[in-house]
Amino acid sequence: MFQGADGHNSVPKGYGTPPARSKVARRGVLVQSSKSSLAALTLGAIGVVYGDIGTSVLYAIKEVFASGRVPFTTDNVYGILSIFFWTLTVIVSIKTDQHSLSWLERFHKAVADFPEVVEFYRMSGDVDYLLRVVVPDIEAYDAFYKRLIARIEIAKVSSAFAMEQIKYTTALPLQFARGNGSDAAGSDGEEKRRKR
């Protein structure tokens, strides 16, 4: 915006306006332009591709709209964004009294079939498996839980709902790849060895 002679914010004449047309045609162009600008601005505001490619906002938007089957509308863009910004993360601990190979294979297949499960670990210790489940709300988690226990027998399931995400990254601590990894800062001991 520019400050006009009258002291108010204004846009210079002809700046950002389409060539002269009828008011109706010009209004339609401006509405269409503002909608596409909003979508571009939304994508630009997100800007950085974060996480691995499967959790990237830009990758998800590209995959959804690239086929042409889903129209590129503001509502659809907000729908995709909601997957990333308005979700409930549930950490699910599973204990089982089944330890046969056939049960393990059926369980792995069952869990792998659920798109809500974004991480899946076999653990040592008191818990046999740990899942990170992402759903839009409690009702969706309840539906997921009922579908899971209908597919496979589980001795004990404990669910913890994340209240706040303090840190999330997919970046690995590469300073440990340089040497023995004993120095978290990564360079003091290594630097001394190089000087010798």
**Residue whose C-alpha is closest to residue 60's, from 38, 77, 41, 74:** 77
Range scoring the smallest mean pLDDT among 7-16, 62-71, 181-190? 7-16
pTM above 0.75, yes or no: no
Q: What angle do CA 36, 40, 44 make, to 5 degrees?
A: 170
Count Cβ atoms within 10 A of the Cβ of residue 110 and give its class: 0-12 exposed, 13-18 middle, 19 or more buried.
middle
Residue 93 φ then ψ, to 5°: -100, 130
Domain with CATH 3.30.70.920 in the chain: 88-161
Write out pLDDT tens, residues 28-58: 444 455 555 555 545 544 444 444 445 566 7
CATH topology of domain 88-161: Alpha-Beta Plaits (3.30.70)
Q: What is the pLDDT of residue 194?
A: 55
Write out pLDDT tens, residues 118-165: 999 999 999 999 999 988 889 999 999 999 999 999 999 999 998 888
Residue 173 φ then ψ, to 5°: -75, 85
